[in-house]
Structure 1
Amino acid sequence: MNDSLTFCKAIEALAANIWPAEITAYLDNWQLRATRGVTKRANSVLAIGEYPQLANWLPHIEQFYADNSLPAIFHISDASPPGLDALLDSHGYALGTPSLVMIANSQDAAAAAAQKLVKRDVAALTAEWVTEADEEWLDAFLRLESYHEELKESYKGICERISDAKGFVKIRKGKHIIAVGTAVVQGEWAGFLNVVVSEAERGQGLGSYLMQALTAWSREHGAARQYLQVVASNTAAVSLYEKLGYQTKYGYHYRIKYDLRPLATS
């Protein structure tokens, strides 16, 4: 197995652990994840490694998602078996959300963030950490993402199920929370997610301040390296991460089929 494939499989496994689904079933090495339809990551097949040995694995998977009243979604990366993407395309699965996995050395990222903040006025900003996603953090996250309140319990459940060392940061400007993020440390790696800043406050160094806070907390908890997943079309975020020393290691995307009736068989 080549080094890049080994690395991809390792990061994909780490990333799956920091966003645990409400329901997880296994088909050999593949994870079938379902969480009331909240986020594709928590409601998709993590297709890592060889194809399942079950001859009719595709109808079996589609039945799982049909039983959970969800579309069938596959998470496709370099760690997925050859030909899977083309096979799903031939079965009517639409392409969805091309994304990037970016990594950085924590020390270098911290230095880069500090350098970017030298000329920024961040005196009014403070970073407050909590070990669980409390009501205030969840409310701020939903507000900053413009998500509906009805999603709160699902996000709360996902955050509660994270079993590794985790921290949830609230970036305040005065009394107001204007950015949030989550860091999860697994061995030498820290994974960052739920990274969002107030649209009204963008362009003032807030992104660098938030990333500096996430990096500092992760280093305190033993992480020497860090990674994140970002939608490829979010060019502003990708540019910020690149300026902080992040490098794109590989990409992934989803394959989605909404109408399962023709294929959902027992």
Structure 2
Amino acid sequence: MEFTVGGQLAVRITAADVGKRVSVRRSTGKMGPGERFTDTVGVLTSWNEGVLLVTRRSGEVVRIAESDLVAGKVIPSAPGGGAARRGVPVASEAELTRVAARAWPATENEPLAPDAPDGWLLRAAAGRAGDRTGGPSGFTRRANSVLALGAPGLPLDDALGRVVAWYTERGLPPYVQTGTGPGGASGLPGELERRGWRREVSAHVLVGALAPLADRLPDRAGVRLSRNVDEAWMTRYGRSGGPDPEARAVLRGGPSVWFATCPAPGDATENRMRGEPGAEEPGIPAAIGRLVVDGRWAGFTAVEVAPEFRRRGLASAVMGALARQALEEGASAAYLQVETGNTAALALYAGLGFTVHHTYDHWRAPEEVGP
């Protein structure tokens, strides 16, 4: 692995490269032959307060002190150049699940079993107490459920008891997210069902090649991309019940995050003359979207269009702008998550070249296991 420039080691990455695939070399502090440096390849997922986090393909997160960094560079996300960027990279269910989890991060994360850091992950993003009878009180099930990858690190009944206690302490209903394919926790859905847990929601993870998607979608003037989520974007976003800091933290979290806004066709005066709904709120976008770039993957979330402006190509315009941004950052494949019952969205994305990669479920604890 070559890092030298003119015979000297060089650090050619900065915090602006978060979300890109990098190769870094750091000092180990050891002086013996062959032990002075160690190399890490993965996605630069964070660079804050003098610490870099590099996530390997396996999902392992490597912490690197900036003071130990002796070399670093951005490397291609998909070997082979343009031709490789036209296809969807092969990925296991576990790998893509971890990528999607990094793109929708909870504000509180804790391994279920401290001795099994790569096992089940407890996640919460809630700022208010909830109840056990309604829907999830935190910001989305994805950020308020156990990510069940691999073994829990405890006997199953002990693990589920720990899950129930942990979420009950936070006023949240206990949920477990588990895949249904061979890459999920083996046999877990059946074990949950036998214990009275209820499958509440299922969703498909769809994947598609990014470059053809960007070529197909329109390049519409007026779509604005920003690193920050503003009040107008949040007003259009239908899943947030208000200005909860947890919702904003989840939306802003991820390796390389972009927010897109698309104004209504025509200006406010023209809309008002036509008598169209929303004309009195020219500051609220007609369509929005969110993108998270994580190495070779580009994740689309929160693509929403105001009801009065649907079927005008605004969602495609938003996704097109985000797709082109992802290509600029080196991504080669796209993914998104759609509930299995949303037939209209599934048909739309199938027409854009997306196919089902795997499916996951959210299971809710039975009432009788609670306090």
The TM tier, using the shorter chain, reads 0.7 to 0.9
What pairs with 1:1-266 in structure 2 (closer than 5 Å)? 7-27=92-112, 28=116, 29-36=119-126, 37-54=138-155, 56-77=158-179, 78=181, 79-114=183-218, 126-141=222-237, 145=238, 147-149=240-242, 152-160=244-252, 162-173=253-264, 174=267, 175=282, 176-257=284-365, 259=367, 262-264=368-370
Letter in 2 for 1:12: T
Give, in angstroms, the shift of residue 23 of structure 1. 1.1
What are the superposed Cα offsets for residues 204-237 of structure 1, whole Å, 9 maximum, x if unpaired? 2222212212211111221111101111111111
Q: List gaps (5 residues or longer) in structure 2.
A: 1-88, 127-137, 268-281
Contact 1:30 1:48 in 2 (8 A): yes
Structure 2 distance, partners of 1:205, 1:138, is: 21
Q: List gaps (5 residues or longer) in structure 1.
A: none
Bigger Rg, structure 1 or 2:
2
Structure 2 distance, partners of 1:166, 1:42, is: 17
Contact 1:168 1:182 in 2 (8 A): yes
Give, in angstroms, the shift of residue 111 of structure 1. 2.2
Compared with structure 1, are the counterparts of its residues 147 and 167 closer, same or farther at alpha carbon in structure 2 (3 Å cutoff)? closer
The number of equivalent residue pairs is: 247
Structure 1 distance, partners of 2:190, 2:239, is: 34
Give, in angstroms, the shift of residue 87 of structure 1. 1.3
Coordinate RMSD, CA, aligned? 2.2
Q: Tell me the TM-score normalized by structure 1.
A: 0.86
Structure 1 distance, partners of 2:241, 2:370, is: 30
What are the superposed Cα offsets for residues 24-81 of structure 1, whole Å, 9 maximum, x if unpaired? 1102211111111110000001001124235611111111111111111011103322
Compared with structure 1, are the counterparts of its residues 248 and 163 closer, same or farther at alpha carbon in structure 2 (3 Å cutoff)? closer
Letter in 2 for 1:245: G
Structure 1 distance, partners of 2:288, 2:167, is: 32
* Structure with greater helix share of residues: 1
- Of the structure 1 ranges 39-48 and 191-200, higher mean CA displacement relative to structure 2 is found in 191-200
Q: What fraction of aligned residue pairs are identical, expressed as a percent? A: 28
Letter in 2 for 1:91: R
Give, in angstroms, the shift of residue 5 of structure 1. 10
Compared with structure 1, are the counterparts of its residues 220 and 69 closer, same or farther at alpha carbon in structure 2 (3 Å cutoff)? same
